[in-house]
Amino acid sequence: MHNLINCYASANRNDFPGYNYGGCLITPVDYAATVAMIVNSKRWISAAKPNIVIQDNGGFVLLLREQAGKEILLDDSKPLIYKSIPNPTVYHNVQVARAINPNILIVTDWPVKPLKGKAAQEAEFEKKLPYNIDAANKTIELLSRDSHDMKLYVAFQGYSLNHLKKFFGAIYLDDFDGVSMPIRGQSLEQTALFLLKIWQMGFQNMHLLGVAGLFPMALAAYFARHFFILVTLDGRGWKIRAMHSEYTNPHNLQTVHVGEDVEIDPEVYMDCQCPACRGRSFLYYQNLPYYFRRVQLSTHNFWAIEGLGKQLFTHASSISTLIKFLRGKTTRVKEIGQLKNALSLVESLKDTDLDQLENLLK
Ligand SMILES: [Zn+2]
């Protein structure tokens, strides 16, 4: 059965809405760096009962350290965190997966930098390509030694359809059940073409990183309904909003500031039925001490994202029903037009080989 599920990255026992609501995304460094952390994570997951558990490899930390000019450590013989330096090797990622047994394991990767300009992007892609191919193949090799029921997603790190072709030409596609890909900085149309190409290659499952906005989620909902079996998403935008005392409107994902420094009309009605909001008002949030407000808003914001994701999926039976639903939710006419164009493009190209198309566009 087709599905769209939002996953909560960096959730904890206090702020996950709980009991079969959305999924969660964990990383080895944050959740499994010691035996005690693994025990705690397993206990928390079995209590929270997310619909799906995804283990991301935490390659993002490599990118952050690289951008900050800090030492990079990738050494199987040293622990996952060595002298405060993260060491997210393929070996550690697999070891943690064996212990946690997630539903989906995203294989180890080294993300490309968010660069502009074709020459810089080519150089960055080529620089990371050998590591990313080797990491994907090594994960398969390590896991082939034991039986498991995890779905394996390969992580694509590149900037163009040509990069996609090059990367996937170097690994054995049948080894993987899905693809993980970030969408940061891409237009809806670009993301749509990547998704279409990945679907054309025969993949049935997709994980998109960095999705917390209404329109990328609407695009994902359409692909979940018509192309892939399962599309999972994770983004941190809504969590960051919670840290800034911003409440996500569950109807359109717009934000309302509920910090103590703003005036809130007590007559403004809050209709959310999530575990954090039920029976309460905006003033409740405003009067909470910061820590509790942040925790409650994290719960609420994730609830709002996942709830709207489900509605988008329900209304994505056709481009026109999805667009009609969005018109009833938001006045963002420009983005509605962009989404409509992107989806129309997808429908018109779905039976066309995109490799040929890219050659024509060169
Ligand atoms: Zn709520």
Distance 319 CA to ligand 1 centre (A): 29
When the pLDDT of each residue in the chain is averaged and rounded to a whole number, the result is 91
Identify the band that residue 238 occupies on the pLDDT scale cut at 50, 70 and 90.
confident
Q: What are phi and psi of 177, to 5 degrees?
A: -95, -15
Identify the band that residue 237 occupies on the pLDDT scale cut at 50, 70 and 90.
confident
Distance 198 CA to ligand 1 centre (A): 35
Provide the 10 A C-beta neighbour count for residue 324: 12
Distance 357 CA to ligand 1 centre (A): 45
Distance 271 CA to ligand 1 centre (A): 8
Q: Please tell me the class of the 3-235 domain.
A: alpha beta
Identify the band that residue 132 occupies on the pLDDT scale cut at 50, 70 and 90.
very high
**Predicted TM-score of the model (pTM):** 0.94
Q: What is the mean pLDDT of residues 160-176?
A: 93
CA–CA gap between residue 312 and residue 293 (Å, rounded): 28
Distance 93 CA to ligand 1 centre (A): 34
Distance 257 CA to ligand 1 centre (A): 14
Distance 292 CA to ligand 1 centre (A): 14
Q: What is the DSSP-derived secondary structure letter of residue 2?
A: -
Distance 226 CA to ligand 1 centre (A): 30
Q: State the number of CA atoms in the 13 A half-sphere of 145 facing the CB.
A: 8
CA–CA gap between residue 237 and residue 212 (Å, rounded): 6
Distance 341 CA to ligand 1 centre (A): 33
Q: What's the one-letter identity of residue 284?
A: Y
Distance 317 CA to ligand 1 centre (A): 27
Provide the 10 A C-beta neighbour count for residue 294: 18
Residues whose beta carbons lie less than 5 angstroms from ion ligand 1: 272, 274, 277, 300
Please calculate the CA angle 223-229-230 and round it to the nearest 5 degrees. 80
Distance 296 CA to ligand 1 centre (A): 8
pLDDT of residue 264: 67
Q: Take residue 198 and report the two structure tokens written for it.
A: 């990945």
Q: What is the DSSP-derived secondary structure letter of residue 273?
A: -
pLDDT of residue 362: 47
Distance 307 CA to ligand 1 centre (A): 10
Identify the band that residue 279 occupies on the pLDDT scale cut at 50, 70 and 90.
confident
pLDDT at 223 over 70: yes
Integer Rg of the chain from CA: 21
Judged by DSSP in three states, 256 sits in strand
What are the sequence ranges of the domains in the chain? 3-235
Judged by DSSP in three states, 178 sits in strand
Distance 249 CA to ligand 1 centre (A): 8
pLDDT at 315 over 60: yes
Identify the band that residue 282 occupies on the pLDDT scale cut at 50, 70 and 90.
confident
Q: How buried is 223 (Cβ within 10 angstroms: 0-12 exposed, 13-18 middle, 19+ buried)? A: buried
Could you tell me which of 60, 327, 78, 91 has the C-alpha nearest to residue 215?
A: 327
Q: Are 274 and 17 in contact (CB under 8 A)?
A: yes
pLDDT of residue 346: 95
CA–CA gap between residue 59 and residue 181 (Å, rounded): 12
Distance 276 CA to ligand 1 centre (A): 5
Distance 156 CA to ligand 1 centre (A): 34
**pLDDT tens string 23-80:** 999 999 999 999 999 999 999 899 889 999 999 988 889 999 999 999 999 999 999 9
Q: How buried is 198 (Cβ within 10 angstroms: 0-12 exposed, 13-18 middle, 19+ buried)? A: buried
Q: What's the one-letter identity of residue 280?
A: R
Distance 14 CA to ligand 1 centre (A): 15
